[in-house]
A and B are shown apart, each in its own frame.
Chain A
Amino acid sequence: MATSSVSKGCFVFKPNFKKRKISVPIEDYFNKGKNESEDSKLRFETYQLIWQQMKSETERLQEELNKNLFDSLIEFLQKSHSVFQKNSRDWGCQIKLREIPTAALVLGVNVTDHDLTFRSLTEVLQNNVTPYVVSLQAKDCPDTKHFLQKLASQLMDCNVDVQSKEKESVQVTQKKIYYSMDSLSTWYMNVTQKTDPKIPRKKRTPSSQWQSPPVVLILKDMESFTTKVLQDFIIISSQHLHEFPLILIFGIATSPIVVHRLLPHAVSSLLCIELFQSLSCKEHLTTVLDKLLLTTQFPFKLSEKVLQVLTNIFLYHDFSIQNFIKGLQLSLLEHFYSQPLSVLCCNLPEAKRRINFLSDNQCENIRRLPSFRRYVEKQASEKQVALLTNERFLKEETQSLLENLHVYHTNYFLVLRCLHQFTSSLPKYPLGRQIRELYCTCLEKNILDSEEYASALQLLRMLAKDELMAMLQKCFKVFKSSSEKQLGNTAKRIEEFLAQFQSLDAAALGPMSAEPVQDERASLLDWRGMSVRKCHPMVPGAPSRSRAGIIALWCICRTTEAKEEEEDTSESQSKGLQKTDLYHLQKSLLEMKELRRTSKRQTKFEVLREQLVSFIDSLVREYLLLPETQPLHEVLYFSAAHTLRQHLNAAPRIALHTALNNPYYYLKNEALRSEEGCIPNVAPDICIAYKLHLECSRLINLVDWSEAFATVVTAAEKMDANSVTSEERTEIIQYPLKSILQCPSKHTE
């Protein structure tokens, strides 16, 4: 757009309202320019439905997790304010310093989540404590004047909500006045005196249970406030406390020591600070994953790589639940957008119904799915033909396959949780402490092949009875709590195991078998008390940090103690211990294992334990199969981790480099497509200059660079060097210098 102005500068152009955008219905974006047969509209609707469900679930979770924190905060506010209100003639209360009640709210470094927390906190406070809740941010308050101004204007807004709107005209004029604490307290007096008789008794919310509700001021990011503003405000407001009942809430991202760092003793002695800590964000993540992904409630699933991308962004970068959920939403959207068959990604009855209406095109899509092709190849030849030619047969088969997939998930998550109960408390956590780690391992590869699984089982074989029983109990609860009856048999088996372990107790009272069981227990106690470090001196040179080494050591410790009666073996072990390397340790471990297996002296408990471990192993073998092995898994699993990474973990420098180095990547102009190392002469000048500059090493010869540039450019126009006038040529030659100046990173002319 042009201006009539001669001077250089920025001009504001107001958008031309006559040119209205023709709005495209959102679902049309799903079309990708293809025909309707791929149910794009239905896919979009399904996406919206599932996302709505997920969103409300996350909100519910958030509320639940915040509940404890908010409850204790409210209790604190009410308590401190009632002390305020007592107005007692008590001897102590008259002399004591009037401190401003202050809640230090430690929220953690996930700043992006704070806004949501504060928003719901404000809502909760307004409903339960006081209508006067104000929240301020550091960037709005560079000095005390602005601080008070913001505070005042927000307070008046609070008031509007409570009162009728008749005062609105007054509001506008009031906003321009400079506020002092004095004017604020007179305002407060007016408001509290006026509102009280007005509000009819019925309408009274709990907030007006006091004659003068407190004013709650939330400082969202305490660390970013300047010290002076905070100090001044606290000193001033503490002098007005008797007429302006203020309560402060500090939002702290790092640690509560900040309070002492920002405020000198003279100021902090005016505050009555109590500490409140929010839930750790890692725990929050675990809950979110548990409720959104490790469940059959939502059909949508993430592949291992995608889950890895999302959790890595969380753990490595920001700790932000909001961002994680955004990422989840993006994957959901991307899945429904890019996978035509995602139309079947809904609850089972609905999916079955939809299968009947699938178009020919979609049927072809099913046949093209790699997992389906693998499935077909395994079938008998007549069935193969039928699947590939007969639409109706295909649809029936798809229905049953989809049903299988749902059953597979139900079992999968149950067994996963069960396995997690058994492995989450093992020493060194071979399969991770969190269920999400276990889930990732299971998605990544066949867990049966993994070393960690083997060592976990090995550790399980050494647990004592009470530990095993505690795990079994938890496991039993998992099965009981699930409404699905798929693995009812397993629950029964676990109950049986429990009963058998209990009956061992009774048997142990008999003189015969008492000794070994007792031994086992004693050794357990010993082991609990003795850290690995403590065992370490026995084996000075062993690489104690390695997991295998520690396990080996642990085994030896346990067996030496448990089997003290086996004199000869323990002797051989002590020999082994004198040798220093891990190799010998493992070797002796193997020998011991061999010995154990051959010895007939296994106690009843040991037999039972062995049975239990093999039972768990069989469960895992049967149910924790890789999702990729399931036919039609592509319908439910989103696996385009690369796309996700591109969107969520943008790399600005790399993007710039790509744009300059390979303009085709962004411009999609066929003329720009070039071979490696070749500079297309039709590329934008800046790209040519950049590529030529890349060819130089650290030092660049400006003349050579300019000449090279001119050569490339003139070649582009298929002109003879002669036909270009010398003037034009100089201009061209000068271009690289200009383009340096254009570069955003350099300073301007």
Chain B
Amino acid sequence: MVPARMPHLENMVLCRESQVSTLQSLFGERHHFSFPSIFIYGHTASGKTYVTQTLLKSLEVLDKAEYLRDMEANLLPGFLRLQELTDRNVTVIFLSEIVWEKFRPNTGCFEPFVLYFPDYSIGNLQKILSHDHPPEYSADFYAAYINILLGVFYTVCRDLKELRHLAVLNFPKYCEPVVKGEVASERDTRKLWRNIEPHLKKAMQTVYLREISSSQWEKLQKDDTDPGQLKGLSAYTQVELPYYSKFILIAAYLASYNPARTDRRFFLKHHGKIKKTNFLKKHEKTSNHLLGPKPFPLDRLLAILYSIVDSRVAPTANIFSQVTLMISYYVSSLPLWNSSGNVISRVPGI
């Protein structure tokens, strides 16, 4: 199953020497029975899948093992003892981003061999990223570029895949002065840095957050236009709503944050006198926004709606269907609704 020694392994898997050798010794020779189950964990893009896939040709690997936790209870112990159950030379490798302790079932089970893949250090990242430099340019030139890139992005992103993606995306901009002949040699790092640094910072705010798609970013780069002109996804916040829908939203907000007792005072013209001192109970004096929204009945929402709209509102089917629509559409989408939305979705009778 596992070749005893892969000649080019050092070149293919960088910065994971100790993990590779542990795994190799675990698998042993071809005729050896290996350890029944191995649990590998570590952050996103720390080389788990890559390492196992380069090492192994055919073997049962369960990637994204987190999902096993949500499945039936006997599945995980079964996999853990697959070797014993099938009486074959099988090793199950679990790949996960969370620690083994979160998996262990209450009833106890066979303990797998746990192997941790630590995050790549900045030096590791530098080494790995510089490894695949474009053929047209020298390794040093590309390594200098990676250095700058990591300087900008390392604080926010350590995901190797993402960094590599960003590196490719922005490399043409880095080369631009060289191609145009503005910079004498590839060594003039200062000038190159001055050219690329602001560009990378812009990329961090736009393309890294997926405000602008990669293809749009490449196009901008090619046309040499200012990325500020292109509005990101978050720029389109305004939503055009029908007249009554707006009021329904407001009414829902009021209903979820005001105590029901206060409605009379706020929404009725002749509400009579209420003693100011006892008006609010002690626990109500803390900000309702800190306590979060509260559930309310549909009738209350409608009553508030009728009182806040200037003209007379008939309780028509259209209003009711609007309420339903708002619930289905705004539960998690609008800023206003976000805070009260989960509440209104619990309204009985809709």
Chain A interface (Cβ within 8 Å of chain B)? 79-80, 83, 91-92, 95-97, 99, 101-102, 104, 106, 108-109, 111, 223-224, 235, 253-262, 265-266, 268-269, 271-275, 277, 280-282, 313, 315-319, 649-654
Decide: B215 and A255 in contact? CB cutoff 8 A.
no
Bound together, the chains give a CA A287 to CA B116 distance in angstroms of 64
Contact present for A317 and B319 (CB under 8 Å): yes
Show 13 A/B contacts (Cβ-Cβ < 8 Å), sorted by A: A91-B132, A92-B168, A95-B168, A255-B334, A257-B236, A261-B332, A269-B210, A272-B214, A280-B240, A281-B240, A319-B241, A319-B242, A651-B317
Bound-state CA distance A236–B233 (Å) is 24
Determine if A109 and B238 form an interchain contact, defined as CB atoms under 8 angstroms apart: no
Task: Choose one: A92, A95, A99, A257; the contact of B233 (CB below 8 Å).
Answer: A257
Map CB proximity to A onto B132-161 as digits: 1 under 8 Å, 0 otherwise. 101110000000000000000000000001
In the complex the two chains form, is B317's CB within 8 Å of A109's CB? no
- In the complex, the answer to whether B210 meets A271 with C-beta atoms within 8 Å is yes
- CB pair A318–B318 under 8 Å, yes or no, is yes
Find out whether the CB atom of A315 lies under 8 angstroms from the CB atom of B243.
yes
Given A109-B241, A223-B332, A316-B243, A652-B234 contact (CB < 8 Å): no
Q: Are A654 and B236 within 8 A (Cβ)? A: no
State A280–B242 Cα separation when bound (angstroms). 12
Question: Is the beta-carbon distance between B329 and A253 smaller than 8 angstroms?
Answer: yes
Point out the residues of chain A lying under 8 angstroms from B317, CB to CB: 649-652
B214: which A residues are within 8 A, CB to CB?
A: 96-97, 99, 272
Known: A109-B325, A281-B240. 6 other contacts (CB 8 A): A97-B164, A108-B240, A223-B330, A260-B233, A317-B244, A649-B314
Neighbouring B residues of A269 by C-beta, 8 Å: 162, 210
- Given A96-B165, A650-B317, A257–B234 Cβ distance below 8 Å? yes
Known pairs A254-B333, A651-B316; A91 contacts B135 (CB<8 A): yes
For the complex, is B239 an interface residue (Cβ under 8 Å from A)?
yes
In the complex the two chains form, what is the Cα distance from A254 to B334 in whole Å? Answer: 8
B320 at the interface (CB under 8 A from A): yes
Q: Is B171 an interface residue (CB 8 A)?
A: yes
Residue in B136, B162, B239 whose CB lies within 8 Å of A254: B239
- The CA-CA distance from A273 to B317 in the complex, in Å, is 37
Q: How far is B330's CA from A223's CA once the two chains are assembled, in angstroms?
A: 8
Q: Complex Cα distance A277/B238, Å?
A: 13
Once A223-B329, A255-B333 are accepted as A-B contacts, the answer to whether A97 and B233 lie under 8 Å apart by CB is: no
CB distance from A657 to the nearest CB of B (A): 10
Most chain A C-beta atoms within 10 Å of own C-beta, residue among B64, B136, B320, B329: B329
* Complex: A682 Cα to B149 Cα, angstroms: 88
Q: Are B244 and A109 in contact (CB under 8 A)?
A: no
How far apart sit A108 and B325, CA to CA, in the bound complex (Å)? 13
Q: How near does chain A come to B219, taking the closest CB pair, in angstroms?
A: 10
- A-B contacts counted at CB < 8 A amount to 139
Q: Identify which of A99, A277, A654 contacts B314 (C-beta below 8 A).
A: A654
Given A109-B242, A257-B233, verify A650-B316 contact (CB < 8 Å): yes
Least CB distance, A490 to chain B, in whole angstroms: 38
B residues less than 8 Å from A101 (CB atoms): 215
Task: Name the B residues within 8 Å of A273 (CB-CB).
Answer: 210, 213, 233
Indicate with 1 or 0, residue by residue over B168-182, a CB within 8 angstroms of chain A CB atoms: 110100000000000
Contacts of B136 in A (CB 8 A): 91
B315 part of interface (Cβ distance < 8 Å): yes
User: In this complex, what residue of B is CB-closest to A655?
Assistant: B317
In the bound complex, do residue A96 and residue B213 qualify as a contact, i.e. CB atoms below 8 Å apart? Answer: no
Cα A318 to Cα B321 in complex, Å, equals 9
Q: Smallest distance from the beta carbon of A98 to chain B beta carbons, Å?
A: 10
Contact A265 B215 (CB under 8 A): no
B220 at interface by CB-CB < 8 Å:
no
Cβ-closest chain A residue relative to B246 = A316
Knowing A96-B168, A256-B233 are in contact, say whether A268-B242 is a contact too (CB < 8 A). Answer: no
- The CA-CA distance from A235 to B49 in the complex, in Å, is 15
Residues of B within 8 A of A253 (CB): 329
Residues of B close to A99: CB separation below 8 A:
213-214
Closest Cβ of chain A: how far from B312's Cβ, in Å?
A: 12
Cβ distance B22 to chain A, nearest Cβ, rounded Å? 27
Which residues of chain B are near A649, meaning CB under 8 Å? 314, 316-318
Chain B residue nearest to A267 in the complex (CB): B210
Neighbouring A residues of B330 by C-beta, 8 Å: 223, 254
Complex CA gap A224/B167 in Å reads: 35
A319:B240 contact, CB within 8 angstroms: yes
Answer whether residue B209 sits at the interface, using C-beta atoms and an 8 A cutoff. yes
Closest residue on chain A to residue B322 by CB atoms: A317
Q: Chain B contacts of A265 at CB under 8 A? A: 209-210
Q: Kindly state the separation between the CA atoms of A101 and B167 in the bound complex, as whole angstroms.
A: 20
Establish whether residues B314 and A255, one from each chain, have CB atoms under 8 Å apart when the complex forms.
no
Question: Does B164 lie within 8 Å of A316, measured CB to CB?
Answer: no
